[in-house]
Every structure is written in structure tokens, then in C-alpha cells.
Structure 1
């Protein structure tokens, strides 16, 4: 390639080259992300996303939990790159059909609505699907939890061009994990005990299927007996019967982001085995126990640590700069 001579080029060309260089991010890690990424290219992007999320939650409050879960399931599989949204192709089997995701994760139509609305507002596709997931998760939490749960989302992720069913099967912790397994899974992603306990607080909203907690309510001993009995009424012991019947992960305030999830754990009323493992499970660390107790009596401490851990999780191996792409359709590569 011929060398570039600044002496021979006009001032106009030099200025243009410099401007283009400044506009293209070159780093490939979380340090390249910043909350103001879209302020110049499309300042209306974030308000548009918030409005679509608000409308979706107004239609169905459960959708807030579903959008939050999509972000988690995206980030835990090869980083926060929007790969969870990709449909299967002839070249790869995606994450949607992985065991932890199949007939479980939802909200894809809302992501489609967000993408269409934000592209229309920006007059071109400049917001990545990975960033849409991060923002939709934050907006869901803030809408259902109020100003205490609002936080700035570092932005600038780009979208992956492939997905892996195998990676999803290997990286998403199932509801039957014990504490040691849960912590190992989080540690493998650079997250610590505080992140594990704080991010588990996402279960302050949403529902779980009977098949995910059947074994707990019939066989676990670390459970309030009256609570177990109440759940058995809608979750028969026979496998395959009532598998898809739902129960709220936080029975007290299932559609509000607050600290009642932790109050439930202290009272041995965690729905999932993996939830209760944070408090009194086999091998549970003293740090985990202390955090559950702290969050159960101090909603401000929970909100602070939850937001910090959400930002930390959102920084897992993002694609930035010239890596990845901005998808025209979140369900398929360009």
C-alpha cells in the first residue's frame, strides 16, 4: 500500500481523514463503551426505546422480566453481542433452541418493535441489537422499580455474526445448580459472589415453570412447608403434568422490582433450588448469607449493588469498533 504523504495532501483532505478516524472506535473491550455513544448520531434513540418498553410492559407486566432475562442470557454466552436473538441458519444452530432457552426465553417480538422504532427515529440502523437488549433491561428495571433502579448503560456494542447452541448449553446456569456450581459459573465470567447474589435479585420479577421447581417443592428440606404446600396445588408431582404452570419468583410483589425476593430467601421461600442456595444451601458462603440478609432489610444496598453488577455484566466481552455489525434485523445477520 502506498504511504500517505501529509505534505502532498490538501488541508481539506487531512481534516476529513482526521474526522473519520475520530468517529471510528478502535478498541475491542468494555473500555470502548460509554453512556453517551448515541448522543450525536441519534439523540432520540434512548427515549424511543424507553417508550416501546413502557408500552410493552403496560400490555403485560411480565414482559419486563422477560426483557431483563434476555440481556442476561445474551451476556452469559460469548459476551453481550445480541447472539441470543439470532434464528437458526444453514451455517449454525443458534442459542434459542439451547436447553436453558427453548420455550423459556421470550420477548423477541418486543425487540423487533424496538428495532423498527429506533431505526425509523434515527433514519438508519445505528443502534445495535446488543445495545437494545442492554437498554431494554435497564428500562424494564427502572419502570418496575422506580428511580432507585435507574442507571446509565455503557453503550457502543456491535452485533455478533453467529451464535452457538453448545455455548448456551454450557454457560447458562440451570435452576437445579447448588451454590458451588452457581459461583463457579459466575466466576468463569469474571463475576464474584456479590455479583451472583445481586444479579439473582432479578428474580424479584417474573415467573418460573412448574418443571423448574417441582423437585424443590417435593424433595428439598430447606423450604417453608406451608410455602411448599401452596405451590404443590398448581404443580403436580408427576413429571409431564402441569410442567408449564407458572408461579411468581417473588410471590409477594411479582411485578415490582424491590427487595422482597431476599425476604423470601430468609424465610425459606425461594421458588428455585438455585435461589435458596444463596441462603442456607449446601456450601453457601458466609458472604452470600450476609448479602442476602443485608438486601432483605436494606433496599438501597440492593439497588446499589444490583445496578453495579448489571453494568459489570453488560461489559462482558462486547464487540466494538470494527468488530461485529449493526444488524438490519435482530433475528439474522446482514
Structure 2
């Protein structure tokens, strides 16, 4: 499951990395608040269709997921405010004042902020190997985005992008608390709520909506770069923890540049090679992590898709069939054992 979760995080990075230059290009025809709203509405509407169309068509293409309950709505609300309103508005404001290369350089700070909050606020476990890996990934991102001697006429643009990174880092850490719930429901609610708020802010300030073709294009960019990317990010959070998912997500600048070489025929450079080497070392340090010790699981109860492994040894009061994974409310009894593990939703213990 670890390798699948890593692939989710990397694909999430690819999609989000591609959305930033796309948003920069669209700013020529959009008010920045309207664009932020349409990007998130595209994510929310796309997720809503992905959740409902298969069921309406009588097709089962994914495991039943748990719906949000209780305090999870508060966590998602706070995450939506930080990452769905403050984050995109800050990024759009920054992109209007600085070049894309400078923005790419600054966007690497999201992974750093995400890890710092996870480690020092939410007490997620890390060791020297993981911290060193994160350092190499960030250095690789800096190599890739460095443009010699960036000139900035004022500090507003860079500070706005840094503010977006911090908002998204808060969002990432809060979203971890709802990561056992349906990722498409999370994207639908966050996308529609954030999109409508941003659109309302833009329209109330006198901005107007673009033509239908341009609005549709923004919606497609939002669905892929924000919606699908977020759903994959949530799936990765379940199994990797916040800091490690954020580290893999920080490879977005390199993955986007590599895709440009393969699909657009852009030339490779020494700068790209240097970034690739540093990032490869950082990713290798994370991939080769081996964390194993005796640890205790306290009694708990929740709902999420699962199979009956050593962490799920419960019975069933109702007949749910033999299909696994399946989703239902279940209890975890206290358990002490040792095995390799990540700081996922079942391993939030102290060290």
C-alpha cells in the first residue's frame, strides 16, 4: 500500500504543478478572484459528477467510502477556509505581480511549511533521514526554479505567494483529520464552497464572468489541477502522513518540467539535471525509510474502507458479504505489536 500511496502523492503533484502555469496564462482574460472561483467550482462540480454518474448508470467503479460525520465537518470547514479561500486568492494576487519562474521557486515552500506544521504542531513523527530527504527535495526545487538573479519591483507578489503556501500547508494538516472519509465528497464540498465564496467576492467587487468557453476551460483546469489532485492527495494522506505526503508533493516543479521535455519538446538543461539529482536523493531517502518498533494502539472506533488485516480483527453483526475492502463502522481493541509502519491514520503514537 505504501508504493500505491506514493504514486498517488506524485500524481497529485504532477496535476497541481501543471495547473499553476495554466492559471498564469488564464489571468490575461480573468479577474483573479473570478478565476480562483471557477477553478474551485470546476473541482467541485467534477467531483460531484464522479460521485454520482456511475451510480446513476448502475456501474460500480470504486469502493464505497465513508461520509463525513460529526467534528469532521469542522475540520473540513477550517481547511476549506485556509486552502480554498485564502490560498487561491493569495496565489492569484501573487501571480499577477511576479513571473512564473519566481512563483515556482516560492511554491516549494508549501512542502516545507506542511512538514514544519505536521512535525512541530501536530507532533507527527520524523527522524533525521526524513528531514534530510525533505531538505534535498527543497534544494532540488530551488535549482529547478532558479532564474539567475530574480528582480522583483516590490514585495507584494512574493509575499502573497508565500502566504498561499502557508495557507495550503495549514489546509494539508487539517485535511489529514478527515482523510478516512470519501475523498470525492471532500473535493466536492471544498470545491463548491471555496468556488462560490471566491466568485461572490469577485462579483461583489465589480468583476464580471468571462465567456462560456473560457469559463469551461478554467473549470477543466480546476477539476484536474485542484479536484483530482486533491482527491489523490487525500488518499496519500491516509497511508503516508502529512509531512511525507507533502514531501512527495514538493516534486511538482521537477515533474512539470520533465513533462514539458517529453511532451512539448523543450530542451533539457544542466539546471534541470541538478534539480533532478537532488530530488532523486530526497525521494530515495524517503522510499528507503524503514521504521519499525514495538508500539501500542489504543482502543478506538471509526469508519473507512478496510480489509481484515492485523489491525482489523473484528466481527460483523450484519451480513456484509465476503468482499474486501469494505466500509462500515468498526472498533479497534488495544493492541501492542511491532512491524514496519508509517505515521498513517492508525499509527499516531508517541516515540
Select the structure that is richer in strand. 2
Select the structure that is richer in helix. 2
Q: TM-score, normalised by structure 2?
A: 0.25
Higher relative contact order (CA 8 A, sep 6+): 2
Q: TM-score, normalised by structure 1?
A: 0.26
The higher radius of gyration belongs to: 1
